[in-house]
Chains A and B, each alone.
Chain A
Amino acid sequence: MRIAAIDIGSNSFHMVIVESRSGGFHVIDREKEMVRLGERTLSRGRLSAAAMRRGLGALREYKRLADMHGVDKLLVVATSAVREAVNGEDFLERVGAEIGFYPQVVSGEEEARLIYLAALHSVNLEGRRTLVLDIGGGSVELAMGEGPQVEWAVSEKLGVLRMTERFVRSDPLAARDERRLTGYVRQFMEPHAIRARAEGFDLVVGTSGTALALGAMATEAGSLPESLHHVTVPADALHGLRRRLVGTTLKGRRRLPLMDERRADIIVAGAVVLDEILDALKAKEIVLCEWALREGLLLDYLTGHKRSVARAEAYPDVRRRSVIALAERCHYHEAHARQVAALALGLFDATASRHGLLAPERSLLEYAALLHDIGRHISYPDRHRHTEYLIRNGGLRGFDPREVEIMALVGRYHRRGVPRKKNVAFAALSRSDRETVRVMAGLLRLADALDRSHRGVVKAVAVSESSRGLRLRCEVEGDAGLEQWASGRRGDLLERALDQPLRVDFTPVTAATAVRARAAGA
């Protein structure tokens, strides 16, 4: 089923068109337009004729696009600019009459809840107490939750367009104007910040264009990174950015690298608002999230619940679901992938005292093992490189860029070659991450060899240490000729990583193991 979600924001309009599938969705198209519906509206309390004309024009295009994609269902919401304008309803009537759909106006709190839902499904919250912060054109939303549970959600009229119109009277921003802006923001945010600090939180997630734009500039990447999703930005960096931006003129800002020209006028207020909020919260960093209200709308529609986000089944598995979705899209050989994953984890656990890696890395190994052969779908020769490319670019959700990189490299090195600094992506990792990749690639390469025939003949592995090195005992059911041959040749990477000679033996499966394996459905 095809669904389009449109967010009629005060600063920008957004649309996303998706194809829904088993509880999740696959993005088909996206659109964004900086309509500035809230321009003057927010200060005057009514939508100007020009703003309405712009809004209608954008929505007309969106409708056309949606039709072209054969969308079955349109979800459209309008937020603060329409909410607060005395002629807001008139505007909506016109949309209905001229374009054919009737947007729904949502309250600020509802907006906050939906945004939390979006973050929940795209960022790995992992049962942590999370504060989701959305800095829009008209209003700022704050939602506090623990894992799937939203505890409270608020909205304050502190959006960047509004703040710019009200406080940014000078270019560059005069100290007096900055003080007044800061004071205003703190006045409304303080009670919420106090509450949040009292209740405690582990994570702050930032959504919306302003947060992403500021995040991009603060991380000072050489060029705009392909994806800002799940990137963590230190509050210090944002503070530094605020100081720099406050001292600039509009003309100067337009010329800054990574500055989106259309945001140049409102970005100063944006930087001040974000910095002040993070300061009030005493937050050290913020995780960027590319999903926002429109995705929240979709998820809400798909799970059928407006209020409760307690669909636990949708949740802790945002990563696993994403990994399986990618694997399935590439027609992976499920049985072999699962067997290799099981073997890799078995090896990981058996050698844990040697490598010292922990649960977070272990889960990345499992996902890399499930995905190790997806490159085959592109072509057989060089499939390890295609695996690397697909993991890196296939849009996995719930992982930060560092985790994606680790999985991509582990996937790449499951065959051929040795991780070396000559590989640019490998060199860019931290020293400990490089060590992690070496160990995990070694484990994966051996695990893959242990299912060379794709028949799942290895039922159990056990590792023992002696002065002569590591001895890996594999219990097999059936002919393990290929596995024997392959493991003899593929253990080198692991040997090097663990700095131990490795010997692999094969013995027939014991009765106990056979029973266990059958029970597990192997």
Chain B
Amino acid sequence: MLSIKNLHVDIDGTEILKGLDLEIKSGEVHAIMGPNGSGKSTLAQVVAGREDYDVTAGSIELDGADLLELAPEERAREGVFLAFQYPVEIPGVNNVYLLKAALNALRKHQGLTEVDAFEFLTLVKQKMRFMGMDESFLSRGVNEGFSGGEKKRNEILQMLVLEPRLAILDETDSGLDIDALKVVANGVNSLRSSERAIVMVTHYQRLLDYIEPDYVHVLSDGKIARTGDKTLALQLEERGYDWVHQESASA
């Protein structure tokens, strides 16, 4: 589904990704781990289409289509979803109306009719219950005055409603207590399906106890330094990132 080849990315003249390769198939769940500054978040943002980054070489394809040719909003409509590490507060813009606009943009692109208000509200309320969100969130502004945990739940709520083909979770576990982490993990697990791929960018192994990945990649110095199954995450927890870094440097 997602094929990244030899990806080189600069920001303000500094190279962050230095020839990254990654293949993700439908139905798979991948975890991308790595120390701070290794380029994890950059990768997530570049796939979603953030324009502050310069892609200097390489390619990103989604089911054979060149993703780099598409604007961020077009990628969203093609089914790419990024759950933000720091979701943005937009006061005065209703959380649920925005979600409805997002869903309708998607449906229009797919040649479907817009959802009617009642149908949509029923769907959102059901997903909100699942995410342990109070109905008062229906009338609030986008992330306006939400706590850190509420913002992350809201990201997953959006994901559940939009049902993306490719979901990228950027540090979704950061700042969550154990109860919130379980709720978020539940939400993500409910989306696991053979038609969908999920990529989790994370610093810690903890999230992977709840969302079991098929593959774990370690990002180091702008490249995938090592790939393994979930046991790799446990090894990392034990031995630290320096171990991978040294191995890849000596290889």
- Co-assembled chains A and B: no
